[in-house]
């Protein structure tokens, strides 16, 4: 059984950039580099889709991550409030009835 051939990211980027230039057809690039043309097409699409990420500032938090962080903070705040309320109610119950509530 043959093992699947793997390519490093520098090679993929080089071939995808050549495909983007359009100087040679994808078929020609496939023959030159020994790669199936469909694979070159996939690499080219990944390059186009990921090109915007190159210009992101390092360490910048995406909108989805910001939203998730806000929701997490809200849930933690609500949990804290409920814990305080629960402790208060247990204390008042003990003051009124003289023993801890049975749960």
Is the domain of 48 the same as that of 13?
yes
Is the domain of 2 the same as that of 34?
yes
Give the model's pLDDT for residue 61: 73
CA distances from 64 to 71, 74, 101 (A): 11, 15, 42
CA distance 48 to 46: 5
Give the model's pLDDT for residue 60: 74
Task: Provide the whole-model pTM.
Answer: 0.55
**Token pair 């093992």: residue:** 3
**99 in a structural domain:** yes
Six token digits for residue 30: 């496939």
**50 in a structural domain:** yes
Overall number of domains in the chain: 2
Give the model's pLDDT for residue 76: 97
**26 in a structural domain:** yes
CA distances from 92 to 7, 40, 81, 84, 101 (A): 68, 71, 17, 12, 10
Give the model's pLDDT for residue 66: 87
Which residue range is the domain that position 101 belongs to?
Answer: 73-103
- Please list the pLDDT of the chain residue by residue as tens digits (103 residues): 678 888 999 999 999 999 999 999 999 999 999 999 999 999 999 999 988 888 877 777 778 888 999 999 999 999 999 999 999 999 999 999 988 888 7
**12 in a structural domain:** yes
**38 in a structural domain:** yes
């Amino acid at each position: 059984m043959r093992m699947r051939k793997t390519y490093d990211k520098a090679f993929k980027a080089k071939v995808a950039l050549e495909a983007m230039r359009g100087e040679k057809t994808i078929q020609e690039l496939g023959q030159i580099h020994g790669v199936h043309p469909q694979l070159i097409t996939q690499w080219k699409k990944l390059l186009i889709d990921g090109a915007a990420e190159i210009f992101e500032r390092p360490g910048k938090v995406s909108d989805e991550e910001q939203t998730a962080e806000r929701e997490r903070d809200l849930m933690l705040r609500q949990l804290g409030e409920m814990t305080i309320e629960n402790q208060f109610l247990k204390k008042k119950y003990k003051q009124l009835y003289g023993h801890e509530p049975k749960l």
